[in-house]
Amino acid sequence: QKEVEQNSGPLSVPEGAIASLNCTYSDRVSQSFFWYRQYSGKSPELIMSIYSNGDKEDGRFTAQLNKASQYVSLLIRDSQPSDSATYLCAVILTGGGNKLTFGTGTQLKVEL
Amino acid sequence: GAVVSQHPSRVICKSGTSVKIECRSLDFQATTMFWYRQFPKQSLMLMATSNEGSKATYEQGVEKDKFLINHASLTLSTLTVTSAHPEDSSFYICSAFRAVTGELFFGEGSRLTVL
C-alpha cells in the first residue's frame, strides 16, 4: 500500500458544481495533512492545512479529516474553470520530521 | 503570506557542466528546506532535506556527490547539479518549512534542460 493514495483522475465537473477530491494515508498516527494545488508547469501552492478531525473551511474550499478512517478530502464549492489543476494531498508521516509525503495527485477539470 | 523565491526559473546547459539553483525564504527563517524533483506527469519526488548549519539528508537513490546541497543561512539553500547529463533534465522545486505555522511553502521551481 502506498503511503498516500489519490485517484489520478481526471475528475471532470461542470462549472458551479462541487468538486470532491479524496486521499487516504497508511500511517495511523499521522497528525498533519495538507492540500496543494499545482498548475501545469508550475510549483505547488498550499491551499489548506488540517490537523484535527472534522471540517475546516476557507472560502470555497473545505478540508475534511477522518483519522479513524485515515481519510482526508477537499471539497471545492462553486467550481470555476480556473480551479482546473492537479491537487496534491500531502501528509507528514510519523518519524518523518517535517518531511511531507505526497500523493500522486488528482487532476481536476472544470468544464464550462 | 510566506514567499519562497527560487532562481533561476529556467536554465539550459551543456552536458558535463554544473548548475546552481538558489532557494530563499523571503519573510521567514527556515531551518529546514527540502529539494524535490518532478518529471513530466509525475508527482514530486523528495531528493533531500537541507538543514541550516549541517549536512543535508539525502533520500535513498539520490547521489549526494552529484546533487550538492548547501544551507549556509536561515534563508538560503542551494542545490548544485554537478556534471549534469540529459537524464538530469527535470523540474527542480525547493520548499521551506515555516516552523511557527507548521506549513511548507514552495519556490517557483527551476526547469533544467541539459543538452
Alpha carbons B67 and B36: distance in angstroms, whole number:
11
For residue A17, how many other CB atoms are within 10 A of its CB? 14
With contacts defined as CB-CB under 8 Å, which chain A residues touch B44? 44, 88, 102
Alpha carbons B36 and B110: distance in angstroms, whole number:
10
Alpha carbons B50 and A61: distance in angstroms, whole number:
32
User: What does the pLDDT look like over B4-54, one tens digit per residue?
Assistant: 999 999 999 999 999 999 999 998 998 899 999 999 888 889 999 998 888
Binned at pLDDT 50, 70 and 90, residue A99 comes out as confident
**How far B16 CA sits from the closest chain A CA (Å)?**
25
User: What does the pLDDT look like over B62-102, one tens digit per residue?
Assistant: 999 999 999 888 999 999 999 999 999 999 999 998 888 87
Question: Does the structure show a pLDDT above 60 at A19?
Answer: yes
**What residue type is assigned to position B25 of the chain?**
S
**How far B52 CA sits from the closest chain A CA (Å)?**
14
User: What does the pLDDT look like over A37-90, one tens digit per residue?
Assistant: 999 989 999 999 999 999 999 999 999 999 999 999 999 999 999 999 999 999
> Out of B49, B91, B108, whose CB is closest to A99?
B49
Q: Which of A42, A51, A98 to mutate to test the interface with B (most CBs of B within 10 A)?
A: A98
- Count residue pairs from A and B with Cβ separation < 8 A: 50
Nine-digit cell at A34? Answer: 495538507
For residue B101, how many other CB atoms are within 10 A of its CB? 12
